[in-house]
């Protein structure tokens, strides 16, 4: 099939490359000439394992090209996939300005029947509004499709080529059949539904996953008080098929470009139809509080006196295997430390530049390796579970730190690792360790 994908962000670029990999003829369009120049030179504007190689192979095979010329791409394609950003407005609603703009440009360029699919996450009703907008500018026949995307950064190619399901929201059988045909090689689970339900599936899925994370984080907070171990609790819960083991890792809360944005947007969507989504409001609130537990633990250790201390931070990305720092808990944690007179040393294997672009370069000592970051620090906070950190020799780490204090925000280490060390170790939802020994269980009075 001939496909144009508009927007070469995470979703657009990965989808475009994967559609080409499936044997389709794909043109990726972006209005940013620097991105297009970079892509045409064989570069990739984002960090995503395996993407560069897959893009290169498909370009060489003549199945994939990049251009800034939207009208020409639209004219050459039967299927147009919109994958531009819908960043949050200050009130949490999705900003649809880019989508509207693209819809108008498509309308002007259409030269015959097209399927116009929206992959960007958009509020319920947006596809219908776009269809109206296009119809007001063009008399050409087209079908509107909602095609929500579920890929995760860091495993985007695998998620796209082996999805759990494909959702096709369509009002017309012909377009639904074409989209089913296009995605058939990927999965047998293709859910064809109406457009509004498809739009809702995306928000409901992300909100549910965010709920799972906040739920296990609250269980972790209770575990800390009753002396239980949340990793075992999650394991025990996860074997129940109705619950499932994934998204039950306690930590410092979720970040990234989707969960924070989509949970706020769904609260707004509900609000517009006079429904207060109380559960989701709590999920967001719990998530916000969770990142500050790292600070609370530091304050606890230093009797509330953080000023003048040196704190090392391992990990800036919102999760490993990505350079994305959007809504990363590290942003607020480091800002809070800096604001309270703490000298922060920070390091991330991949996300240093993107973090500095958002946070600024001032106020933090930027380091180049895990041990260098920890050197002469009064405490170390692990905020992203990169493999590199799990592999560090803990005896060496203990020797470079001024005080062997480790706050593990992602439960990377365990008792076994710490055996024979002097670490004072705080993790999330597990008993604290002092010199490798579990601290006394709290006395429970019921």
Q: Whose Cβ is closer to ligand UDX: residue 107's or residue 230's?
A: 230
Q: How many amino acids of this chain bind ligand UDX (CB under 6 A)?
A: 19
Q: Binders of ligand UDX among 319-338, rule CB under 6 A? A: 319
Task: Compare residues 36 and 220 and give the one whose CB is closer to ligand UDX.
Answer: 220
The pattern of x and - marking residues 248 through 277 that bind ligand UDX according to CB under 6 A reads: xx-x--xxx-xx------------------
Closest approach, Cβ 349 to ligand UDX, in A, equals 16
Residue nearest to ligand UDX (CB): 258
Catalytic, out of 18, 28, 223, 258:
258
For ligand UDX, the closer of residues 254 and 425 by Cβ is 254
Contacts with ligand UDX in 82-101 (CB under 6 A)?
none
Cβ at position 403, least distance to ligand UDX in Å: 27
Q: How far is the CB of 264 from ligand UDX (least distance, A)?
A: 13
Q: Closest distance between ligand UDX and the C-beta of residue 221, in Å?
A: 14
**Minimum distance of ligand UDX from residue 134's CB (angstroms):** 25
Stretch that binds ligand UDX, among 79-87, 241-249, 345-353, 373-381 (CB under 6 A): 241-249
Kindly tell me which of 126 and 206 has the beta carbon lying closer to ligand UDX.
206
Q: Mark the binding-site residues, compressed into ranges.
A: 30, 35, 86, 121, 150-153, 202, 247-251, 255, 261, 319, 326
Q: Residue 412 contacts by C-beta under 8 Å, 6 or more apart in sequence?
A: 382, 385, 389, 390
Spatial contact of 307 and 234, defined as CB atoms under 8 Å apart? no
Kindly tell me which of 149 and 199 has the beta carbon lying closer to ligand UDX.
Answer: 149
> Which residues are bridge partners to 382 per DSSP?
314, 408
Phi and psi at residue 302, in whole multiples of 5°?
Answer: -100, 25
What distance lies between CA 41 and its chain's CA centroid?
A: 27
Choice between 10 and 302, CB closer to ligand UDX: 10
What's the length of the chain?
A: 446
**Candidates 51-59, 87-95, 243-251, 330-338; binding stretch for ligand UDX (CB under 6 A):** 243-251
Give the nearest distance from C-beta 431 to ligand UDX in angstroms: 20
Extract the annotated binding site for substrate. Answer: 150-153, 202, 247-251, 255, 319
Site for ligand UDX in 167-206 (CB under 6 A): 206
> What's the Cα-to-Cα distance from 342 to each of 229, 345, 384, 387, rounded to whole Å?
30, 10, 20, 27
Q: Minimum CB separation from ligand UDX for residue 184, in Å? A: 21
How near is the Cβ of 262 to ligand UDX at its closest, in Å? 7
- Per DSSP, what are the bridge partners of residue 445? none
Residue nearer to ligand UDX on the CB measure, 40 or 246: 246
Q: Using the CB atoms, write b or e for 262-283: b if 16+ within 10 Å.
A: bbbbbbbbbeeeeeebeebeeb
Give the position of tokens 């139809």: 273
> Between residue 134 and residue 163, which ones bind ligand UDX under the rule CB under 6 A?
149-153
Which member of 25, 88, 128, 247 binds ligand UDX (CB under 6 A)? 247
Residue list for the binding site for NAD(+): 30, 35, 86, 121, 153, 261, 326
172 assigned to active site = no
Q: Are 195 and 220 in contact (CB under 8 A)?
A: no
Does 318 participate in binding ligand UDX (rule CB under 6 A)? yes
Q: Which stretch binds ligand UDX (CB under 6 A): 106-114, 131-139, 220-228, 244-252?
A: 244-252
Comparing CB distances to ligand UDX, the nearer of 216 and 306 is 216
Q: Which residues bind ligand UDX (CB under 6 A)?
A: 149-153, 206, 209, 213, 247-249, 251, 254-256, 258-259, 318-319
Catalytic residues: 258
């Amino acid at each position: 099939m001939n496909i144009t994908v508009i927007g070469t962000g995470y979703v657009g670029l990965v989808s475009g490359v994967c559609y080409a990999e499936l044997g389709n003829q794909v043109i990726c369009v972006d209005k940013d000439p620097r991105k297009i120049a970079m892509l045409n030179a064989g570069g990739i504007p984002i960090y995503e394992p395996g993407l560069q190689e897959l893009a290169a192979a498909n370009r060489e095979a003549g199945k994939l090209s990049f251009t800034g010329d939207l009208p020409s791409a639209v004219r050459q394609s039967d299927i147009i996939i919109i994958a531009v950003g819908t960043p949050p407005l200050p009130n949490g609603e999705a900003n649809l300005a880019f989508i509207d703009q693209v819809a108008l440009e498509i309308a002007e360029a259409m030269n015959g029947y097209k399927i116009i699919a929206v992959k960007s996450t958009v509020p319920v009703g947006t596809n219908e509004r776009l269809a109206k907008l296009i119809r007001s500018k063009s008399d050409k026949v087209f079908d509107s499709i909602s095609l929500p995307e579920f890929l995760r950064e860091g495993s985007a190619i695998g998620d796209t080529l082996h999805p759990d399901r494909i959702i096709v929201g369509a009002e017309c059988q012909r377009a639904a059949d074409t989209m089913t045909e296009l995605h058939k090689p990927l999965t047998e689970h293709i859910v064809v539904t109406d457009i509004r339900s498809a739009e809702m599936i995306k928000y409901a899925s992300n909100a549910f996953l965010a709920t799972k994370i906040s739920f296990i984080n609250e269980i972790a907070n209770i575990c800390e008080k009753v002396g239980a171990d949340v990793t075992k609790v999650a394991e025990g819960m996860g074997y129940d098929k109705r619950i499932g083991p994934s998204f039950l890792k306690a930590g410092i809360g979720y970040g990234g470009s989707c969960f924070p944005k989509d949970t706020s947007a769904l609260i707004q969507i509900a609000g517009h139809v006079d429904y207060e989504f109380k559960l989701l409001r709590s999920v967001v609130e719990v998530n916000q509080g969770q990142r500050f537990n790292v600070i609370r633990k530091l304050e606890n250790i230093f009797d509330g006196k953080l000023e003048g201390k040196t704190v090392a931070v391992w990990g800036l990305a919102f999760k490993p295997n990505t350079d994305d720092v959007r809504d990363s808990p590290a942003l607020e944690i480091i800002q809070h430390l800096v604001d309270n007179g703490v000298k922060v040393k920070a390091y991330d294997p991949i996300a240093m530049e993107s973090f500095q672009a958002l946070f600024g370069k001032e106020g933090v000592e930027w380091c180049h390796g895990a041990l260098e970051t920890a050197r002469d620090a009064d405490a170390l906070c692990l905020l992203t579970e990169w493999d590199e950190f799990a592999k560090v020799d803990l005896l060496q780490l203990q020797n470079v730190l001024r005080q062997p204090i480790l706050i593990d925000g992602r439960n990377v280490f365990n008792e076994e690792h710490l055996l024979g060390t002097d670490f004072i170790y705080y993790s999330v939802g597990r008993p604290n360790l002092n010199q490798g020994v579990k601290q006394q269980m709290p006395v429970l009075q019921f």
